[in-house]
């Protein structure tokens, strides 16, 4: 009987220790944030870059663009951010920006709603707020720099696949989940474009399958596509998980080089397959340009060149002139195409 | 028994139906007939025939299902990871336990594989495989120790460790992904290369299957696992090392899940924190469909492996046959229910037969 009373206690102790250890691991954010850059007395613009989280190659790239723009503008820019992308983690950084009296805050919001109070406070302290990559509600910020529109993404992918299959043949789409709103919007636009644009008259969309943004399922769905459509010429996968899984499947199957693949992907995921010739080109926006443009937009706001109204225009260095659209949205442009020539320049 | 034998005339004894003889006194049949009857009446054969039927149907509809080099390779390659998990799961279920944490263990070792190659690019593949086996075995040991010494049902323990291990994985990997570009070519080739038309991953899975199957069938330790699963209390009373055997079963299941994680990375080239989500249920399903009784004590890992092949092959075949996603899942569900109903029916029939032949005697 002694054993029976003692064992469960030991068990409970082990479980408890494990759970304590886990919570301890999950809770180490919150450092490296508040190195005050000092005042903004010198006349130089002072800006803060607040990505969703630090240590994320995508945002490292956008910060690189922001720093380049700041250098051109003679502004000071400082990057701060949480370790993990959670909404409440960004609030303290926004408060710090308000207290320091920075001129502008450039952020990618972890939540459209939750940050609004903190942002309002910063704006009442005369901080201009520009969102990029992920927006807040339009009324809480001054400008949103949008990476791409649904139309732009749909059109770009059709353009790439048409180019790769020589303008005719069967194509299929490998999507994320069947109820992903953005995916379905893109697919619908591609279908309309295929039906209406005479350039695509000889391209037939034969199937749309769903990989649920899981590597293994996307992989298996690619296999099924090739098996069920022996005449398939190309696959479009407008999701980063899907395109990488499809590329992995194609790269060591008989279909390599016979079936083209394009879609939305990140250079780090796709490098291997572009280099070995499985994939010719794919698209995504360029986060470096995105950070660059957001910084120029913030500077234009601070300098009073624009007020964020629809129709305002401003210059953004090499990227040219941009116009503010409805709801204070500035569009970066059409998606950026990555191929064997330029993929080496990117690391995200 | 010899007493009844003497009373019966020889002619009559040879007329005793094979099924009854096999049930009551197998040695009465000639060895060849015994083996033949065992094979013909086995659950493994029936599930194998279902597998053959699926393959024939799919190939009739689309020749490349089996007769293209990709089709043949995928037929052998795709189930190999699930075969490993199903073999480990089968051994655990035979002892009347279950290991639900295998998906999370697999995720951890898949990520470990990627991290090892990123941090030590020159590491030999064998070392990485060994590290994954070891990590899997340690995680399995935790399960086994909690089950064997904590006196808590395995279902609860491994459900807990499923979440704990997945939590560790999420904390460790976060939003980080392992991409094919991070892995050495040599390792990725392991995932697709074939020897004499048989992919290496399949060979690994079959070697593991053969070793475990042989051990379960012939070794004392293997037979004791069945005894434990048939009646754990009786096994204790009989003086079997129940705790040690159960612990070993969990270590084996963990180690095989660890190996499966490394092979997953070799095959798919990408690891995110969601790897192996839900695969533990597929492993249980494969074992049950393959004829391993969910209450332990009967079934073979051969059956579990055929069950794994069937599950994966059905998933490949149904899209080819033009059946929708929803129905694909429903078919798997129907197979599981069918297997369990069959199990109960066979068990009831066997009990009735045994009772009859006892009365008869």
Residue B19 contacts A, CB cutoff 8 Å: no
Average pLDDT over residues B44-71: 86
Is the confidence at residue B3, as pLDDT, over 50? no
pLDDT digits (tens, 9 = 90+) for B146-176: 999 988 899 999 999 999 999 999 888 876 7
Residues of chain B contacting residue A253, judged by C-beta atoms under 8 Å apart: 70
Q: For residues B277 and B77, give the distance between their C-alpha atoms in angstroms, rounded to a whole number.
A: 20
Number of Cβ atoms within 10 Å of the Cβ of A311 = 9
Min CA distance, A11 vs chain B (Å)?
6
How close A271 comes to chain B (CA, Å)? 6
Contacts B181 to A, Cβ<8 Å = 268-269, 271-272
ipTM of the complex, rounded to two decimals: 0.76
A–B CB contacts, 8 A cutoff, strictly below: 96
pLDDT exceeds cutoff 50 at A28 = no
Q: Reduced to 3 states, what is the DSSP secondary structure of residue B277?
A: coil
Q: Which of B355, B288, B350 is nearest to B41 (CA)?
A: B350
Q: What residues of chain A lie within 8 A of the CB of B139, using their CB?
A: none
Instruction: List the helix and strand counts (H, then E) for chain B.
Output: 19, 2
Among A10, A108, A252, which would you mutate to test the B interface (most chain B Cβ atoms within 10 Å of its Cβ)?
A252
Architecture of domain B47-360: Orthogonal Bundle (1.10)
Q: Taking a C-beta distance cutoff of 8 angstroms, is the pair B225, B91 a contact?
A: yes
Instruction: Give me the residue spans of the domains in chain B.
Output: 1-41, 47-360
The minimal CB distance from A214 to the residues B62, B274, B316 is found for B274
Q: How far is CA B158 from the centre of its chain?
A: 17
| A224 contacts on B by Cβ (under 8 Å) | 316, 319-320
Tokens of B180: 């094919």
Residue found by looking up tokens 């109204």 in the block: A309
- Beta bridge partners, A324, equal A330
- Choose among B214, B76, B228, B206: nearest CA to B148: B228
Please report the domains of chain A, with CATH numbers, ordered by start residue: 46-147+287-332 (3.40.50.2300), 150-284 (3.40.50.2300)
- How many whole angstroms separate alpha carbon A187 and alpha carbon A78? 39
pTM higher than 0.80: no
Closest residue in B to A255 (Cα) is: B70
Do the Cβ atoms of A215 and B275 come within 8 Å?
yes
Read off the pLDDT of residues A304-346 as tens digits, 9 standing for 90 and up.
899 888 889 999 988 899 999 988 899 998 889 999 999 988 8
Q: Distance, in angstroms, between B330 CA and closest chain A CA? A: 17
Q: CA-CA distances (angstroms) from residue A235 to A164, A186, B68, B175, B257?
A: 10, 15, 20, 27, 33
Q: Which among B157, B105, B154 is positioned nearest to B277, based on CA atoms?
A: B105
Please check whether residue B95 is in contact with residue B293, taking contact to mean a CB–CB distance below 8 angstroms: no
Smallest Cβ–Cβ distance between B315 and the set A53, A220, A255 belongs to A220
When pLDDT is cut at 50, 70 and 90, the band that residue A30 belongs to is: very low
A98-123: buried (b, 16+ CB within 10 Å) or exposed (e) per residue? bebebbbbbbbbbbeeebbebbbbbb
């Amino acid at each position: 009987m002694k054993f029976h009373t003692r064992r469960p206690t030991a068990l409970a102790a082990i479980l408890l220790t494990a759970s304590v250890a886990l919570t301890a691991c999950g809770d180490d954010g919150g450092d490296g944030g508040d190195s005050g850059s000092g005042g903004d007395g010198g006349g130089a613009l002072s800006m803060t870059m607040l990505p969703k989280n630090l240590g994320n190659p995508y945002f490292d790239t956008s910060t690189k663009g922001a720093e380049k723009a700041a250098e051109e503008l003679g502004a000071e820019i400082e990057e701060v951010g949480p370790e993990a992308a959670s909404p409440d983690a960004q609030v303290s950084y926004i408060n710090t920006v308000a207290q320091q009296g920075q001129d502008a805050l450039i952020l990618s919001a972890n939540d459209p709603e939750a940050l609004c109070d903190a942002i309002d406070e910063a704006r009442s302290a005369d901080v201009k707020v520009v969102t990029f990559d992920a927006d807040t509600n339009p009324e809480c910020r001054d400008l949103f720099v949008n990476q791409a529109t649904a139309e732009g993404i749909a059109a770009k992918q059709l353009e790439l696949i048409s180019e790769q299959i020589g303008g005719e043949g069967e194509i299929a789409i490998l999507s994320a989940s069947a109820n992903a709103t953005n995916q379905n919007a893109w697919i619908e636009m591609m279908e309309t474009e295929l039906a209406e644009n005479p350039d695509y008259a000889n391209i037939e969309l034969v199937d749309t399958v769903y990989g649920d943004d899981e590597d293994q399922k996307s992989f298996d769905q690619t296999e099924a596509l090739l098996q069920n459509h022996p005449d398939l010429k190309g696959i479009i996968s407008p999701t980063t998980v899907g395109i990488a899984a499809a590329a992995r499947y194609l790269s060591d199957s008989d279909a390599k080089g016979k079936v083209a693949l394009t879609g939305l992907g990140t250079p780090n995921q796709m490098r291997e397959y572009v280099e070995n010739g499985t994939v010719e080109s794919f698209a995504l926006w360029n986060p470096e340009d995105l950070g660059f443009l957001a910084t120029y937009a913030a500077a234009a706001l601070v300098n009073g060149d624009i007020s964020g109204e629809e129709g305002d225009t401003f210059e953004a260095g090499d990227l040219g002139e941009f116009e503010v659209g409805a709801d204070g949205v500035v569009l970066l442009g059409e998606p950026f195409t990555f191929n064997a020539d330029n993929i080496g320049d990117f690391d995200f | 028994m010899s007493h009844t034998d003497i009373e019966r005339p020889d002619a009559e004894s040879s007329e005793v139906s094979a099924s009854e003889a096999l049930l009551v006194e197998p040695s009465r049949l000639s060895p060849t007939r015994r083996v033949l009857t065992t094979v013909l009446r086995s659950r493994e054969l029936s599930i194998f025939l279902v597998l053959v039927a699926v393959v024939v149907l799919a190939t009739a509809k689309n020749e490349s299902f089996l007769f293209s080099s990709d089709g043949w390779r995928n037929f052998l390659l795709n189930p190999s990871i699930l075969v490993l998990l199903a073999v480990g799961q089968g051994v655990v279920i035979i002892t009347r336990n279950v290991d639900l944490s295998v998906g999370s263990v697999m995720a951890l070792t898949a990520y470990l594989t990627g991290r090892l190659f990123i941090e030590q690019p020159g590491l030999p593949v064998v070392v990485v495989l060994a590290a994954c086996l070891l990590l899997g075995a340690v995680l399995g040991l935790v399960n086994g120790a909690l089950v064997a010494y904590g006196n808590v049902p395995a279902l609860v323990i491994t459900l807990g460790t499923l979440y704990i291990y997945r939590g560790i994985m999420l904390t460790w990997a976060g939003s980080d992904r392992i991409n094919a570009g991070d892995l050495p070519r040599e390792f990725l080739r392991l995932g697709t290369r074939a020897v004499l038309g048989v992919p290496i991953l399949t060979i690994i899975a079959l070697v593991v299957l053969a070793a475990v199957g042989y051990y379960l069938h012939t070794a004392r330790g293997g037979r004791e696992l069945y005894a434990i699963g048939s009646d754990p209390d009786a096994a204790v009373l009989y003086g079997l090392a129940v705790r040690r055997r159960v612990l070993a079963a969990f270590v084996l299941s963990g180690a095989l899940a660890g190996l499966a994680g490394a092979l997953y990375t070799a095959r798919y080239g990408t690891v995110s924190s969601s790897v192996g989500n839900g695969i533990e249920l597929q492993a249980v399903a494969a074992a049950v469909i393959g004829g391993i009784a969910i209450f332990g004590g009967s079934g073979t890992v051969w059956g579990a492996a055929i069950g794994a092949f069937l599950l994966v092959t059905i998933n490949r075949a149904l899209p080819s046959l033009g059946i929708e996603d929803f129905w694909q899942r429903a078919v798997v569900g129907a197979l599981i229910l069918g297997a369990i109903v069959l199990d109960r029916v066979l068990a009831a029939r066997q009990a009735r037969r045994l009772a009859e032949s006892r009365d008869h005697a």
